[in-house]
């Protein structure tokens, strides 16, 4: 079915089926009546649900920039979420993580992690939802068409920092739970929440808390659901069974702390920017191939069955390219594109701190510059080996330059990749719920991004972890004009409600 047609048909179908008390999807019958009533309630309260998102987006809960003001906003954000969970009837434990000392010596408070519980019926499955309420930095002047912290709706799109990453999906889960409460229906599952505020800055303190609560908060948990990534398309839902890791590096080149005037010193200095540009230029070639010796040694070889899986994925490359607003990708085939996003490493240069970055023409020789780049890791690369390879490579390149400057390479984040077992029961429940809401099978995909919590949960708790994204591919997470479609947010709330029912049924 044409995806556009499918989107139009679905709500009509749902409404008709609701009236008849009949089946809600072409392939998977939900419990008669209840799911329909849940969905109708969600539809009738759409604007309230959007208003709730607006309130959360209004909080500048940016965890990336290490500023006391922003940490206060983060703390306020966690307080708002805590209040909303308590209003649902959940018991909430706001776990204090204390403070964080930054490399520059600054000490900043960490936002608490919320551990919340709703129901403890031993006959029901227990599903824990992980989400985060911190966001990437956003400045209006970076090219936002509306204020990033004022939720703005245009053509069915809800624009604002954090709408899709990850405030919208967290609220959708809360909306699903809240709808059962509003209709005075017993929740078919026990629900737990783990909500953090440092995901965009390396999830400080999270892994330790998961380990600590392994036999506490997490002891009765059967399933863990994360909704912190995107579909592969603008219209077709997806289920995600793997993510790449990330090794984030800084390379500092220093001549002296002060900058120089390029007229007064240009021509006699080993200029730090010249060194840094050469170092950054040695990392990756114009075809995207990483030039660090040994970096591909630990990458899994591609198996025949894996190739077949990639071939089965329904991706309109032209549509994808168009919605990404990219003239041309590095590769021409669907399989190559997906493999390079999901199962091969990539290296991106993010920027330079300490150089001239403002409009205008400043004639400065920066005295000390800090380059930033990161490598997305795939099975079975590991951060320790990658750190060593990167440092050796950069030190080798630098030493060949005979520069009098000082260089320092540092891996500031090292997050492992993750792959799940897609035969777990909750994957089946999610597929059924997706069919109910969207009338289609999901794409079974990986995600090129890093959601370290997935691997932490799987490694630490040995529980089934599933990623069930709500956002569309063009949501622009981490970018200017981030948005979530009103439809994805509302249907996503319905999807989670359906998932609870399906999971309860399958769990018996």
Report the binding-site residues for Mn(2+). 132, 165, 200, 228, 478
Number of C-alpha atoms within 13 angstroms, CB side, residue 218?
Answer: 22
* Tokens standing for residue 129: 């939802």
Residues 364-393 that bind a second copy (CB under 8 A): 364-367, 372, 374, 376
How near is the Cβ of 7 to a second copy at its closest, in Å? 22
Q: Name the phi and psi angles at 459, rounded to 5.
A: -70, -45
* # residues near a second copy by CB under 8 A: 96
What is the smallest separation between the CB atom of 55 and a second copy, expressed in angstroms? 25
Q: Is 488 in the site for a second copy (CB under 8 A)?
A: no
Query: Taking Cα atoms as reference points, which of 253, 201, 198, 246 lies closest to residue 411?
Result: 246
Return d(Cα 391, Cα 410) in angstroms, integer.
8
Q: How many helices (H) and strands (E) does the chain have?
A: 15, 20
Told to judge if 134 belongs to the known catalytic residues of this protein, a careful annotator would answer: yes
The smaller minimum CB distance to a second copy, of residues 304 and 358, is found at 358
Interface with a second copy, residue 9, by CB under 8 A: no
Nearest residue (CB) to a second copy, 4 versus 65: 65
* Closer Cβ to a second copy, 15 or 329, answer by number: 329
Which of the residues 37 through 76 are near a second copy (CB under 8 A)? 64-66
Q: Which residues contribute to the annotated binding site?
A: 132, 165, 200, 228, 478
Cα separation, 127 vs 114, whole angstroms: 16
199 as an active site residue: the answer is: yes
Instruction: Decide whether 367 or 442 has the Cβ nearer to a second copy.
Output: 367
Q: How far apart are CA 221 and CA 215, in angstroms?
A: 10
- Name residue 348's beta-bridge partners: 374
Shortest distance (Å) from residue 266 CB to a second copy = 4
Residue with tokens 């899994």: 300
| Piece in contact with a second copy (CB under 8 A), picked from 1-9, 177-185, 244-252, 484-492 | 244-252
Buried b (16+ CB within 10 A) or exposed e, 30-48: beeeebbebbbbbbebeee
CB closer to a second copy out of 87 and 264: 264
Residues facing 326 on adjacent strands: none
Decide: is 231 part of the binding site for a second copy (CB under 8 A): no
CA distance 3 to 231: 13
The encoded tokens of residue 386 equal 């990658």
- Which of 224, 280, 445, 498 lies at the binding interface for a second copy (CB under 8 A)? 280
407 binds a second copy (CB under 8 A): no
To the nearest 10 degrees (0 to 180), the angle between helices 3-20 and 34-44 is 120
> Closer CB to a second copy, residue 227 or residue 450?
450
| Piece of the chain touching a second copy by CB under 8 A; list 166-174, 272-280, 416-424, 434-442 | 272-280
Kindly state the smallest distance separating residue 249's Cβ from a second copy, in Å.
9
Alpha-carbon gap, residue 202 to 223, rounded angstroms: 23
Supply the minimum distance, in Å, between the C-beta of residue 338 and a second copy: 9
The Cβ of residue 122 has, within 10 Å, a number of other Cβ atoms equal to 7
User: In the window 78-137, what residues touch a second copy (CB under 8 A)?
Assistant: 104, 136-137
Q: Which of 52, 171, 255, 429 binds a second copy (CB under 8 A)?
A: 255
Spot the catalytic one: 60, 62, 73, 134.
134
Exactly one of 61, 179, 346, 426 binds a second copy (CB under 8 A); that residue is 346
What is the closest distance, in whole angstroms, from the C-beta atom of residue 446 to a second copy in the complex? 11
**How many of the other CB atoms lie within 10 Å of CB of 105?**
6
Please give the C-alpha separations between residue 339 and each of 248, 444, 474, in angstroms, as whole numbers.
21, 13, 19
Two structure tokens written together for 431 = 């597929």
169 binds a second copy (CB under 8 A): no
Dihedral sign from CA coordinates of 150, 154, 156, 159? negative
Cβ closest to a second copy, residue 12 vs residue 326: 326
Out of 87, 99, 219, 264, the only residue in the binding site for a second copy (CB under 8 A) is 264
**C-alpha–C-alpha distance, residues 493 and 43, integer Å:** 10
Are 472 and 482 a contacting pair, CB within 8 Å?
Answer: no
Site for a second copy in 443-462 (CB under 8 A): 447-450
CB of 421 to a second copy, least distance (A): 22
- Per-residue binder mask for a second copy (CB under 8 A), 176-195, x = binder: --------------------
Which residue reads 């840094």 in tokens? Answer: 276
Strand-strand pairing, 418-419 and 238-243: antiparallel
Tell me how far, at minimum, the Cβ of 212 lies from a second copy, in Å: 25
DSSP 399-439: HTTT-SSEEEEEEEEEE--EE--TTSHHHHHHHHHHHHHHS
Question: Which residue among 199, 475, 491, 502 is the active-site one?
Answer: 199
- Binders of a second copy among residues 286 to 345 (CB under 8 A) are 286, 288, 324-331, 337, 340-341, 344-345
The residue among 176, 215, 213 whose CA lies nearest residue 194 is 213
Catalytic (active-site) positions: 134, 199
């Amino acid at each position: 079915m044409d995806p556009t047609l499918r989107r139009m048909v679905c709500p009509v179908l749902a409404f008709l089926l609701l009236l008849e008390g009949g089946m809600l999807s072409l392939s998977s019958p939900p419990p008669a009546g209840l799911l329909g009533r849940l969905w109708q309630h969600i539809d009738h309260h759409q604007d309230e649900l959007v208003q709730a998102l607006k309130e959360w987006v209004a909080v500048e809960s940016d965890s990336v920039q290490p500023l006391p003001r922003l940490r206060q906003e983060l703390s306020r954000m966690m307080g708002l979420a805590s209040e909303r969970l308590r209003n649902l009837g959940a018991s909430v434990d706001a776990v204090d993580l204390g403070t964080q000392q930054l490399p520059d010596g600054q000490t900043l408070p960490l936002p608490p992690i919320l551990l919340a519980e709703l129901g403890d019926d031993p006959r029901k499955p227990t599903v824990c939802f992980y989400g985060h309420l911190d966001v990437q930095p956003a400045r209006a002047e970076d090219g936002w068409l509306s204020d990033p912290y004022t939720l703005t709706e245009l053509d069915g799109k809800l624009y604002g920092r954090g709408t899709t990453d990850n405030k919208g999906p967290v609220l959708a889960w809360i909306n699903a739970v809240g709808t059962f409460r509003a209709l005075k229906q017993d929740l078919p599952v026990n629900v737990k929440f783990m909500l953090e505020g440092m995901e965009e800055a390396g999830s400080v303190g999270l892994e330790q808390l998961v380990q600590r609560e392994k036999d506490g908060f997490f002891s009765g948990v059967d399933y863990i659901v994360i909704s912190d990534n995107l579909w592969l398309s603008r219209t077709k839902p997806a289920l995600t069974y793997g993510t790449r890791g990330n090794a984030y590096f800084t390379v500092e080149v220093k001549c002296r702390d002060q900058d120089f005037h390029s007229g007064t010193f240009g021509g006699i200095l080993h200029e730090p920017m010249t060194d840094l540009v050469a170092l950054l230029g040695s990392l990756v070639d114009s075809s995207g191939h990483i030039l660090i010796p040994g970096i591909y040694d630990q990458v899994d070889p591609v198996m025949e069955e894996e190739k077949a899986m990639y071939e089965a994925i329904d991706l309109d490359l032209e549509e994808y390219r168009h919605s990404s607003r990219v003239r041309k990708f590095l590769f021409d085939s669907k399989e190559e594109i997906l493999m390079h996003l999901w199962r091969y490493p990539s290296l991106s240069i993010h920027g330079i701190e300490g150089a001239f970055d403002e409009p205008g023409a400043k004639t400065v020789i920066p005295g000390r510059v800090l380059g930033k780049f990161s490598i997305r890791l795939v099975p079975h690369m590991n951060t320790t080996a990658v750190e060593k390879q990167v440092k050796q490579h950069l030190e080798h390149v630098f030493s060949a330059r005979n520069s009098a400057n000082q260089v320092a390479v540092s891996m500031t984040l090292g997050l492992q990749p993750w792959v799940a077992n897609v035969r777990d029961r909750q994957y089946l429940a999610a597929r059924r719920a997706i069919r109910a809401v969207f009338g289609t099978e999901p794409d079974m995909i990986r995600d090129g991004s890093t959601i370290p919590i997935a691997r932490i949960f799987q490694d630490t708790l040995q529980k089934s972890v599933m990623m069930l994204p709500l956002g569309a591919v063009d949501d622009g997470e981490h970018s200017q004009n981030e948005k979530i479609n009103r439809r994805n947010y509302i249907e996503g709330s319905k999807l989670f409600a359906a998932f609870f029912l399906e999971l309860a049924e399958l769990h018996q």
